[in-house]
Amino acid sequence: MKKQSNLSRLLSYAGGHKYFTYVSWILSAVCALTALVPFWYIWKIINEVLKASPNFGSAQNLTHYGIMAMAYAIISYLIYIGALLCSHLAAFRIAANMRIDITEHIAKLPIGFTDSFGSGKLRKIINDSTAATETYLAHQLPDKYAAMATPVGLLALLLVFDWRLGLLSLVPVAVGFAVMSAMTGKRMEEKMRQYGNALAAMSNEAVEYVRGIPVVKTFGQSVFSFKKFKATIDEYKKWVLAYTKDMRLPMMLYTAAINGVFAFLILGAFWFTNGTVTSEFFVNLLFYIIITPVISVTLTKIMYMSEEGMVISDAIERIDSVLNAEPMSVGNNSHKPKSASVELESVHFSYDGKKEVISDISLKIKCGQTVAFVGPSGGGKSTLASLISRFFDVNSGSIKIGGVDVRDIPKDELMNTVSFVFQNSKLIKASILDNVKMGKSNATDEEVLNALRAAQCMDIIEKFPDGVNTVIGSRGVYLSGGEMQRIAIARAVLKNAPIIILDEATAFADPDNEVKVQKAFAKLSEGKTVIMIAHRLSTVRNVDCIYVISDGKIVEYGNRAELIEKKGMFYKMQNDYQSSVGWKVSNETEESRND
With the C-alpha atoms ordered 424, 427, 428, 429, is the resulting torsion angle positive or negative? Answer: negative
User: Is the Cβ–Cβ distance between 278 and 258 less than 8 Å?
Assistant: no
pTM of this prediction?
A: 0.65
* pLDDT tens-digit readout, 159-169: 777 777 777 77
pLDDT at 240: 81
In a domain, 1, yes or no: no
- How many domains does the chain contain in total? 2
In a domain, 36, yes or no: yes
In a domain, 591, yes or no: no
Of the residues 288, 323, 358, the one at which a domain ends? 323
* pLDDT tens-digit readout, 57-78: 666 778 888 899 999 999 999 9
pLDDT at 499: 92
pLDDT at 456: 83
| Non-local CB neighbours of 558 within 8 Å, separated by 6+ positions | 545, 546, 566
Q: What is the mean pLDDT of residues 250-268?
A: 70
Q: Given pLDDT bands bounded at 50, 70 and 90, which one contains residue 216?
A: low
* pLDDT tens-digit readout, 18-45: 889 999 999 999 998 998 888 888 888 8
What's the CATH number where 59 sits? 1.20.1560.10
Q: Given pLDDT bands bounded at 50, 70 and 90, which one contains residue 129?
A: confident
Q: What is the mean pLDDT of residues 479-503?
A: 85
In this structure, the answer to whether residues 106 and 173 fall within a common structural domain is yes
Q: Which segment of 73-82, 200-209, 450-459, 585-594 scores lowest on mean pLDDT?
A: 585-594
Q: What is the mean pLDDT of residues 469-478?
A: 66
What's the CATH number where 556 sits? 3.40.50.300
With the C-alpha atoms ordered 327, 136, 27, 157, is the resulting torsion angle positive or negative? Answer: negative
Of the residues 291, 323, 355, the one at which a domain ends? 323
In a domain, 292, yes or no: yes
pLDDT at 1: 41
Query: 15: alpha, beta or left, given left = phi > 0 and alpha = psi -120 to 50?
Result: left
In this structure, the answer to whether residues 213 and 299 fall within a common structural domain is yes
In a domain, 594, yes or no: no
| Non-local CB neighbours of 465 within 8 Å, separated by 6+ positions | none
Task: Round the average pLDDT of the chain to a whole number and report it.
Answer: 79
* pLDDT tens-digit readout, 275-298: 565 666 777 777 777 777 777 677
| Non-local CB neighbours of 258 within 8 Å, separated by 6+ positions | 172, 173, 176, 295, 296, 299, 300
Quote the strand ranges of 70-178, DSSP E: none
Strand partners, 592: none
> What single DSSP character describes residue 405?
E
Q: Which segment of 127-141, 157-171, 354-368, 579-593 scores lowest on mean pLDDT?
A: 579-593
Long-range contacts made by residues 564-572, C-beta under 8 angstroms, separation at least 24? 569/375, 570/374, 570/546
* pLDDT tens-digit readout, 448-472: 998 888 888 888 888 888 888 888 8
User: Is the Cβ–Cβ distance between 518 and 539 less than 8 Å?
Assistant: yes
In a domain, 337, yes or no: no
Domain that includes residue 304, residue range: 6-323
- CA angle, 151 as apex, 145 and 153 as ends, to 5°? 100
Instruction: List C-alpha distances in Å: 206 to 27, 200, 220, 328, 467.
Output: 44, 10, 18, 34, 37
> What single DSSP character describes residue 140?
I
In this structure, the answer to whether residues 349 and 292 fall within a common structural domain is no
CA dihedral 45, 51, 56, 59 (to 10 degrees): -60
In this structure, the answer to whether residues 316 and 376 fall within a common structural domain is no
Nearest of 447, 432, 438, 435 to residue 416 by alpha carbon: 438
Nearest of 125, 121, 65, 132 to residue 101 by alpha carbon: 125
In this structure, the answer to whether residues 385 and 485 fall within a common structural domain is yes
Q: What is the mean pLDDT of residues 2-8?
A: 70
Q: Which segment of 66-70, 133-137, 312-316 scores lowest on mean pLDDT?
A: 312-316
User: Is the Cβ–Cβ distance between 439 and 495 less than 8 Å?
Assistant: yes
Q: What is the mean pLDDT of residues 538-554?
A: 88
In a domain, 299, yes or no: yes
In this structure, the answer to whether residues 10 and 132 fall within a common structural domain is yes
In this structure, the answer to whether residues 315 and 351 fall within a common structural domain is no
Bigger pLDDT: 84 or 170?
Answer: 84
pLDDT at 574: 83
pLDDT at 493: 87
Q: Given pLDDT bands bounded at 50, 70 and 90, which one contains residue 546?
A: very high
| Rounded percentage of the chain residues whose pLDDT exceeds 70 | 77
Q: Given pLDDT bands bounded at 50, 70 and 90, which one contains residue 594?
A: very low
With the C-alpha atoms ordered 34, 36, 40, 43, is the resulting torsion angle positive or negative? Answer: positive
In this structure, the answer to whether residues 182 and 33 fall within a common structural domain is yes
* 3-class secondary-structure state, position 35: coil
Give buried/exposed letters for 285-301 (b at 16+ CB in 10 A, else e). bbbbbebbebbbebbbb
In this structure, the answer to whether residues 374 and 298 fall within a common structural domain is no
- CA angle, 320 as apex, 317 and 325 as ends, to 5°? 140
Write down how long the chain is: 595
Give buried/exposed letters for 235-253 (b at 16+ CB in 10 A, else e). bbeebeeeeeeeeeebeeb
Q: How is the beta sheet containing 370-374 ordered, strand by strand?
A: 418-421, 499-503, 529-533, 370-374, 545-550, 553-558
- CA angle, 210 as apex, 204 and 215 as ends, to 5°? 125
Q: Which segment of 133-137, 173-177, 446-450 scores lowest on mean pLDDT?
A: 173-177
Examine the pLDDT at 590 and tell me if it is beyond 50. Answer: no
* pLDDT tens-digit readout, 244-255: 777 777 777 777
Bigger pLDDT: 210 or 153?
Answer: 153
pLDDT at 343: 94
In this structure, the answer to whether residues 292 and 374 fall within a common structural domain is no
In this structure, the answer to whether residues 170 and 246 fall within a common structural domain is yes
In this structure, the answer to whether residues 355 and 266 fall within a common structural domain is no
In a domain, 588, yes or no: no
User: Is the Cβ–Cβ distance between 339 and 346 less than 8 Å?
Assistant: no
Please give the span between the terminal C-alpha atoms of the chain, in angstroms, as a whole number.
86
pLDDT at 270: 65
Dist CA 272 CA 284 (whole Å):
13
- CA angle, 434 as apex, 429 and 435 as ends, to 5°? 65
Q: Given pLDDT bands bounded at 50, 70 and 90, which one contains residue 595?
A: very low
Dist CA 265 CA 453 (whole Å):
87
Q: Which segment of 111-125, 380-394, 404-418, 491-505 scores lowest on mean pLDDT?
A: 111-125
